[in-house]
């Protein structure tokens, strides 16, 4: 049995400027844990695969295409492939999200 303790994974700053932890990196799935401090954002961008955002801490905004919604811990938001999405931490607390990409875009055949 593999147990991944997210808090024990090394944290670095992502290319988009937020704290990130690699959780799982397999051909079928990629999971990252992003933690946004108040005022941080992940600007709108496209991903070539489906993405699930699982909020594990905090309350803030996720935008998928033209829709923006407030989300809280426990919520899961689905972002279909090739639809712009963004995250914004504007509620005054840290916002921690598991970003689940299916399949792993880094390991897709080119």
Q: What is the pLDDT of residues 51-67, one digit of tens each?
A: 999 999 999 999 999 99
Instruction: Please provide residue 74's backbone torsions phi and psi, each rounded to the nearest 5 degrees.
Output: 100, -20
Q: Does residue 86 contact residue 36 with C-beta atoms inside 8 Å?
A: no
Classify 74 as helix, strand or coil.
coil
Classify 103 as helix, strand or coil.
coil
CATH class of 6-107: mainly beta
- Other Cβ atoms less than 10 A from the Cβ of 79: the count is 22
pLDDT of residue 16: 87
pLDDT of residue 110: 55
pLDDT of residue 109: 62
Split at pLDDT 50, 70, 90, the class of 104 is very high
Q: How far apart are CA 101 and CA 48, in angstroms?
A: 9
Please count the residues of the chain: 110
pLDDT in tens, 9-65: 999 999 888 999 999 999 999 999 999 999 999 999 999 999 999 999 999 999 999
pLDDT of residue 65: 97
Q: How far apart are CA 72 and CA 2, in angstroms?
A: 28
pLDDT in tens, 71-103: 999 999 999 999 999 999 987 889 999 999 999
pLDDT mean across residues, the chain: 94
Q: How far apart are CA 94 and CA 65, in angstroms?
A: 24
Classify 6 as helix, strand or coil.
helix
- Other Cβ atoms less than 10 A from the Cβ of 20: the count is 20
């Amino acid at each position: 049995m593999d147990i991944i303790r997210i808090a024990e994974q090394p944290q670095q700053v992502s290319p988009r400027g937020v704290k990130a932890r690699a959780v799982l990196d397999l051909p079928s799935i990629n999971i990252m844990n992003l933690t946004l401090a108040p005022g941080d954002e992940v600007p709108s961008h496209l991903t070539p695969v489906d993405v699930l955002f699982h909020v594990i801490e905090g309350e803030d905004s996720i935008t998928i295409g033209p829709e923006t919604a407030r989300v809280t811990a426990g919520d899961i938001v689905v972002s279909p492939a090739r639809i712009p999405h963004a995250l914004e931490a504007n509620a005054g607390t840290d916002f921690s999200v598991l970003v689940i990409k299916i399949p792993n875009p880094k390991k897709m055949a080119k």
